[in-house]
Chains A and B, each alone.
Chain A
Amino acid sequence: MSLLEVRGLSVRFRAAHAVRGVDLDVGAGECLALVGESGSGKSVTARALLGLLPPTAEIAGRAVFDGIDLQITSGRRSPVVGSRLTTVFQDPMRALNPVLRIGDQITEVLRLHAGMSRAAARVRAEELLAAVGMADPGRRLRAYPHELSGGMRQRVCIAIAIACRPALVLADEPTTALDVTVQRQILDLVDELRRASGMAMVLITHDLAVVAGRADRVAVMRAGEIVESGPTRDVFTAPRHPYTAALLDAVPRIDGPRAAAVVEGSAVEGVR
């Protein structure tokens, strides 16, 4: 049985039909990449599962996580969100509270979801910072987000996401705001954490090169629908949908042909 099973997910914002009948399955410990352009509905899909969409969104469909119905149409956030099912956002500066020390932001999660005492949460927070590769974690707990580099901020966000040993992390463009060198560090870190803990992951990105060699399966979204899905290697070497092939051709290459191919038009316009 899948860890996460999504059936017939649809999301509408007034006239815009952002997600149209999406089915997804994520097995325990599996890494699924959800790829597509801006406006393809990949972030809206994740937000619907997490209960983070505004009340104006009309949601239909069903999502079962670890045997629990997430009740995504209820407008309420499931209690597993934040502990067993967590997320990492694109922009770590906006994901963190700028006026709270990062130690307080990590211990908040532990106290709220794991019911830890202040002292125990502090010890665990320090362990978490060490686990995400922060040097001198004891001192870093007292830092504010603005005192950290972008890469370190994203490490803090990852520490918060894994604080309660989640079964699944939804990472929405976790490295898009970062430099390539830091991107590689963060992707390597996530791989390492996944291997160590066996957690599953949905990695949302527009950059196919990011998921190559890291995701087990890929689902390609366009205009609110999944147009192709399958094992990463198969989809990359023999894409069946012309849109997947076009996306692959648009990736700037460090090997192979120099100039990337141009995809005419955009997914966003397809929706309108």
Chain B
Amino acid sequence: MTEPALRIEHLTVRYPLGGRRFAHAVTDVSLTVAPGEIVGLVGESGCGKSSVARSVMALRRPDAGRVLIGGVDVTALRGAALRRARRDFQMVFQDPRSSLNPHRTVRQILTEGLAIQRVPRPWDDQVDDVLRAVGLDPATYADRRPRQLSGGQCQRVAIARAVLLRPRLLVCDEPVSALDTTVSAQVLDLLRDVRDRYGVAILFIAHDLAVVRGLCDRVAVMYLGRICETGAVDEVLARPRHPYTRALLDAVPRLDGAVPAGEALRGDPASNVDPPSGCRFHPRCAYASPRCAAEEPVLAGEDEAVACHHPLAPVKAG
């Protein structure tokens, strides 16, 4: 079997709040992304999806668990070894403008990574190629600064910077939420294109299932720090088994104006400082039983799984 581009094993991230209190951002999350695969990680604000991204990017050391990128445990790396390994995993952020240095030209922004990774010069051809690959003409755009670009063009530059070092894995944290639908469609199209061209795997973090549906191969739904359902996008979105996935789907506005059958999800997620007992979704769940408050459901398996005591459709026999 080929080595997955990303393997997250039992990742736990908690932030100290002083005293003995912690915000339990991520609890025992496992996830794999195969080479060239696009996996969506979805959930509401505060569900821990960005904390997963930060741990994958080795920006924060996890409190438990491991992150393997191309088989290398990046959580064990330090200093120069970590810096060398960073070539393999690159990130695209939500706000394209604030993730680019406003004082630098597009060419300077792109070559910075090459310099850090000690890629031998000359760099011009590589930079021109990657700019063309993201749909920006080098002659027009290479010497511009971010303020002379539109939001969509800035995001193209951020994607060019991320793929320039030919990483195995691209982590995209809400890369289109700050963009208009029309520009968002262009950027999603580009991400598909980049995957096809470079064979890069993508961990795509989003709160909008409609966007995930158009782009991803597989999806993992997070709620309050845990994955509650995972599987192929077609399967999970067509036949959601976790009531939370159903609620997320019902929240997506539809062009035909049809009002989804389900009630809108009430209230906000519970606090991750003192998460609810048992199933973390039970206080907001229409199907909750006493068992849900008492016993935490287990996510069995990694490919097609749901962590729920009362899944909506029968679980397919293995």
Contacts and interface: CB of A to CB of B under 8 A. Distances in A.
Interface of A: 37-38, 135, 149-152, 179-185, 187-188, 206-210, 212-214, 232-233, 236, 246-248, 250-256, 258-263, 266-269
Interface in B179-219: 180-186, 188-189, 192, 207-211, 213-215
B213 A208 contact: no
B162 interface: no
A214 B258 CA distance: 10
Contacts of B249: 254
Contacts of B185: 250, 252, 260-263
Interface string B249-286: 11111111111000011111000000000000000000
Nearest to B267: A135
6 contacts: A179-B44, A185-B265, A250-B182, A252-B211, A254-B210, A255-B256
Given A150-B45, A207-B181, A263-B182, A253 B213 contact: yes
Contacts of A232: 257
Given A151-B268, A181-B247, A262-B186, A253 B255 contact: yes
B264 A185 contact: yes
Contacts of B92: none
Interface centre among A184, A185, A250 (most CB of B within 10 A): A184
B38 interface: no
Given A236-B255, A252-B184, A261-B185, A184 B214 contact: no
B228 interface: no
A38 B151 contact: yes
A93 to B, nearest CB: 13
Give the 10 A-B residue pairs with the shortest CB-CB distance, closest first. Answer: A213-B257, A212-B257, A252-B210, A209-B253, A184-B251, A260-B185, A263-B182, A250-B185, A254-B252, A250-B182
Contacts of B207: 179-180
Contacts, number: 136
Interface string B28-52: 0000000000000000111000000
A152 B266 CA distance: 12
A47 B213 CA distance: 36
Given A185-B264, A254-B237, A247 B209 contact: no
Interface residues of B, number: 43
A253 B212 CA distance: 10
B223 to A, nearest CB: 11
Contact of B181 (A182, A184, A188, A250): A250
A267 B186 CA distance: 13
Contact of A252 (B44, B208, B265): B208
B181 A181 contact: no
A176 to B, nearest CB: 9
Nearest to B44: A179
Given A150-B45, A250-B181, A181 B265 contact: yes
Interface centre among B192, B237, B264 (most CB of A within 10 A): B264
A60 B257 CA distance: 36
B182 A246 contact: yes
B254 A209 contact: yes
A258 B214 contact: yes
Contact of A266 (B152, B188, B209, B264): B152
B150 A181 contact: no
Contacts of B25: none
Nearest to A255: B254
B264 A188 contact: yes
Interface string B144-181: 00000011100000000000000000000000000011
Contacts of B130: none
A179 B47 CA distance: 11
A183 B209 CA distance: 13
Given A37-B180, A262-B189, A183 B214 contact: no
Interface centre among A151, A179, A212 (most CB of B within 10 A): A179
Interface centre among A210, A258, A260 (most CB of B within 10 A): A260
Contacts of A207: 181, 253
B301 to A, nearest CB: 25
A250 B254 CA distance: 13
Contacts of B220: none
Contacts of A151: 268
Contacts of A248: 255
A259 B257 contact: no
